[in-house]
Chain A
Amino acid sequence: MSVSEGEGRAVWRLGEQGQHTLVVAAREALAAPSALALPPPEPAPGLILPDGSINWGCPCLGGMATGPCGTQFRDAFSCFHYSEAEPKGSDCYDKFSVMQECMAQYPQLYAKDDDDDELADELGAALQGAADASDAPDAPDAPDAPPPGR
């Protein structure tokens, strides 16, 4: 018996050999807590791994790390991520310049998004709002986010 019976459930055995079980249940029965606890899901790494290092395989990087300016991008982004300068990344100017020079050769690849202007606005707002982000009620800190890589 792969499916239990209980209150508020109707069960059919369908198909030629009755191999297709169909259960139609009341909303309340389905909304009740499940007795089943599953093992934790397969971890899906983001851009920064739990150990604080950069995940170059993150799909969020798109072609940045794999394209023709991949090494320059990595150098610049690594420098920034591990920077202990104040402000952060201010010691990476040269590496960013090298990256920019490379990218300038590939305007097809490193051109604008559809919404660059909108982005500029958003960015301004983000920078504006970042100062009070910590006390904004609807901007909770992620409890299990990886620590900054320092």
Chain B
Amino acid sequence: MLRAIANVYIESQSRTRRDALQIFRVCNYSSVRGDDKPLSRKLRKFRTTVLAGERRAGPAPRTPPQPGPEPPPPAARRRRAWAALAALAASASLGGAYFYRKLTDERQRSRDAEPTPAPADATDAPEPPLPARAEDLPPHAEFLLVGAGTAAFAAMRAIRSARPDAHVLLVGAEPALPYMRPPLSKELWREPAPADAAARPDALTFRQWNGRRRSLAYEPAAFYAPPERMRAAGPGAALARGWRVERLDPAARRAVLAAPGGLRHELSYGAALLATGARPRRVPALAAAAAAGRSLALRDVRDARRLARALDAPGVRTVAVVGGGFLATELSAALAARLAAEGAGRRVLQLFREEAPLARVLPPYLAAEAARRLEAEGVRLRARAEVLAGEVGAAGDVVLRLADGAEERAQLVVECAGAEPAAELAAAAGLELDGARGGVLVNGELAARAGLWAAGDVASFYDEALGRRRVEHHDHAVVSGRLAGENMAGVAPPRVYRHQSMFWSDLGPQLGYEAVGIVDSRLRTVGVFSAEATAGEAAGAGDAGQAPEHAGRAPQRYERGVVFYLREERVVGVLLWNLFNRLHVARQLLALDAAPDLFEAAKLFAPQDE
């Protein structure tokens, strides 16, 4: 971490080192700099995913660290380092390096002090809430964050950045430390033992793009105030896990917290954020299979653990993924890759109502391409499949009866039927809900009422450029959580939602896509592809003399390109198909009041270049 800061500092002081470390690029958000080399695709992802820069990897020890007994480093050594570095730090640009060096001793010492993690706990026993006693909770929270997911965590960061003296209390129903969810449908399934990994979310690490391991949890437990000091409500972030906010009174600014076992605690607050997220929508036809433990949903890390365990159970030959959206498609690809690597002949079957996976997102020619890519990954696709019933047969099979009379058999089903915002608390608090989109209504500043904001999946917010929206993506949770946090801190005048969040997905190792704005195939779209990056009947599209309209059949394969989504002559969404590091251009297009000539716009994305 400190190295990263040192390097950012070096760079920001007008010196570019030849060996500028990659981490610097991760940290450098100054995309306006013209001399920046484009980030690699994977680096871009990393940057967006992790929310908060570089952090050390490694399991979090369960036992508290033992401060104190270690002797300080020898003074002579300390002074020597000081003198050597001070001499070398002849220019401001070296200050960062020096700054870093001052801390290496400390880190060197702490390396030996780290206790080994406790063995994995494989039981399903519910974990007790933390703190375990209601009286350990503070009587007042300066900033109360309802929920402890990505939006709440981003808000905490923003509040603490703006107000270093702020006391922030995060209240999350999950027993895990705040963590990022994207790896649960991506990298987790490339781990050797995902069931074991997901059993200990606080220690879960995954292998990121560059081969280094990274923690799922944003921060280890030591980052948050220890339970025995929570009541003091000093500056810092405190986390009540296994607790939920049961009642909220926005007028009196009071909240009631509850935890299993009849624990209750009432507190007052100064400002509150609703970041309760969403929960998976279940398929009614699969209720019986779900009750039998044969049909699962995937949302949080406990779901991931259940799925990973079920996958390991004997007799599972076919995993049926029900749904055709982002999660279903991405998970199908990830599970198929895992099962293919096993080489035991186990298969993934994806069933969806539409003609092709992602058909509600992609224009039909690209949805067809997505289908081909998934099949190449080993996913068997069942289009136009409406599941009417899922009966658990004697042999443990789930027999999926489809509306067209056909049947499919699987031993495990994953329901990816979307999510619904968890807005009950907001409704009970008298807040206005969005009847059309679900979620709690907030304005462009993400405020619902005085002293009350909402962010992430649960917020139906007003976007100045694209109108009212509710977005269920990781990056939106980051962006909206941060904005809400800044506005809650109140140091600067409130800002409105303007930075368009993005999302990304992969369908196997050869295809990734990312997008900003509204990406919906019911809209008009214009896709622009380079002839070299397509294959099929239009291979000669670039030849002189070819009729521009209806030049034979459209291509069959699409390697790279850009798709614009239009509403009332305005670009409201941009999808980049295997094109990376171009989202800033897409965001600029979304800011325009009227759609430009989209061929000219497409040139700005250089879809002919990898």
A: residues with CB less than 8 A from B are 2-12, 14-15, 19-36, 38-48, 56-68, 70-71, 74, 77, 80-81, 83, 87-90, 93, 96, 100, 103-114, 116, 119-120, 122-123, 125-127, 129-131, 133-134, 136, 138-148, 150
Instruction: Produce 1/0 per residue, B47-79, CB < 8 A to A.
Output: 000011111111011000101001000000000
Task: Report if B141 contacts A (CB, 8 A).
Answer: no
Task: Report if B406 contacts A (CB, 8 A).
Answer: no
Taking the closest CB of chain A, its distance from the CB of B354, in whole angstroms, is 13
**Stretch of B261-269, B330-338, B421-429, B581-589 on the interface side:** B581-589
Chain A residues, CB < 8 A from B102: 96, 100
Q: Is the CB of B530 within 8 A of A87?
A: no
**Within the assembled complex, what's the spacing in Å between the Cα atoms of A23 and B555?**
10
Taking the closest CB of chain A, its distance from the CB of B485, in whole angstroms, is 9
Task: Report if B356 contacts A (CB, 8 A).
Answer: no
Query: Looking at chain A's contact residues, is the secondary structure mostly helix, strand, loop, or mixed?
Result: loop
Q: Is the CB of B602 within 8 A of A56?
A: no
> Apart from A23-B528, A126-B10, what are 15 other A-B pairs with CB-CB below 8 Å?
A2-B569, A10-B538, A20-B363, A23-B529, A26-B530, A27-B530, A28-B542, A30-B603, A44-B29, A60-B26, A89-B95, A106-B222, A110-B106, A110-B107, A130-B94
Interface size class of B (residues with CB under 8 A): 35 or more
Nearest chain A residue, comparing its CB with the CB of B94 = A130
**Within the assembled complex, what's the spacing in Å between the Cα atoms of A89 and B218?**
31
Q: Is the CB of A126 within 8 A of B11?
A: no
B: residues with CB less than 8 A from A are 1-5, 8-19, 21, 26-35, 51-58, 60-61, 65, 67, 70, 82, 85-95, 97-104, 106-111, 113-114, 156-158, 160-162, 164-165, 212-213, 218-223, 225, 235-237, 363-365, 482, 486, 498-499, 521, 523-532, 534, 538, 541-542, 544, 546-551, 554-555, 564, 566, 569, 584-585, 587-589, 591-592, 595-604, 606-608
**Within the assembled complex, what's the spacing in Å between the Cα atoms of A111 and B114?**
9
Q: Is the CB of A41 within 8 A of B31?
A: yes
**Within the assembled complex, what's the spacing in Å between the Cα atoms of A61 and B327?**
31
Chain A residues, CB < 8 A from B9: 47-48, 81
User: Known interface pairs A47-B5, A63-B55. Does A14 touch B549 (Cβ–Cβ under 8 Å)?
Assistant: no
Taking the closest CB of chain A, its distance from the CB of B448, in whole angstroms, is 23
Q: Which of A20, A59, A141, A148 is in CB contact (< 8 Å) with B365?
A: A20
**Within the assembled complex, what's the spacing in Å between the Cα atoms of A65 and B156?**
12
Q: Is the CB of B529 within 8 A of A22?
A: yes
Q: Which of A29, A42, A71, A80 is in CB contact (< 8 Å) with B499?
A: A42
Taking the closest CB of chain A, its distance from the CB of B579, in whole angstroms, is 12
Q: Is the CB of A8 within 8 A of B542?
A: yes
Chain A residues, CB < 8 A from B597: 2-4, 35-36
Chain B residues, CB < 8 A from A32: 603
Chain B residues, CB < 8 A from A80: 95, 99
* A–B complex contacts, Cβ < 8 Å, 25 sampled: A2-B595, A2-B597, A3-B597, A9-B548, A10-B551, A21-B526, A24-B531, A25-B531, A25-B541, A26-B542, A34-B604, A41-B584, A44-B30, A61-B5, A62-B52, A63-B218, A70-B236, A81-B95, A89-B98, A116-B107, A127-B97, A130-B17, A141-B16, A142-B35, A145-B33
Chain A residues, CB < 8 A from B524: 2, 19-21
Q: Which of B8, B110, B530, B606 is in CB contact (< 8 Å) with A111?
A: B110
User: Known interface pairs A30-B606, A89-B95. Does A145 touch B12 (Cβ–Cβ under 8 Å)?
Assistant: yes
Q: Is the CB of A56 within 8 A of B33?
A: no
User: Known interface pairs A45-B29, A109-B219. Does A4 touch B600 (Cβ–Cβ under 8 Å)?
Assistant: yes
Q: Which of B14, B99, B499, B532 is in CB contact (< 8 Å) with A27?
A: B532
**Within the assembled complex, what's the spacing in Å between the Cα atoms of A137 and B42?**
28
Q: Is the CB of B548 within 8 A of A60?
A: no
User: Known interface pairs A21-B526, A116-B111. Does A30 touch B602 (Cβ–Cβ under 8 Å)?
Assistant: yes
Q: Which of A59, A106, A146 is in CB contact (< 8 Å) with B27?
A: A59
Q: Is the CB of B527 within 8 A of A21?
A: yes
Nearest chain B residue, comparing its CB with the CB of A1 = B597
Taking the closest CB of chain B, its distance from the CB of A27, in whole angstroms, is 4
Q: Is the CB of A59 within 8 A of B29?
A: yes
Taking the closest CB of chain A, its distance from the CB of B29, in whole angstroms, is 4
**Within the assembled complex, what's the spacing in Å between the Cα atoms of A13 and B136?**
65
Chain B residues, CB < 8 A from A145: 11-14, 33
Q: Is the CB of A104 within 8 A of B587?
A: no
Q: Is the CB of B236 within 8 A of A68?
A: yes
Nearest 4 pairs between A and B by C-beta? A26-B542, A60-B27, A107-B110, A66-B160
Q: Which of B161, B528, B549, B554 is in CB contact (< 8 Å) with A65?
A: B161
Q: Is the CB of A113 within 8 A of B32?
A: no
Q: Which of B54, B103, B156, B161 is in CB contact (< 8 Å) with A57?
A: B161
Q: Is the CB of B528 within 8 A of A25?
A: yes
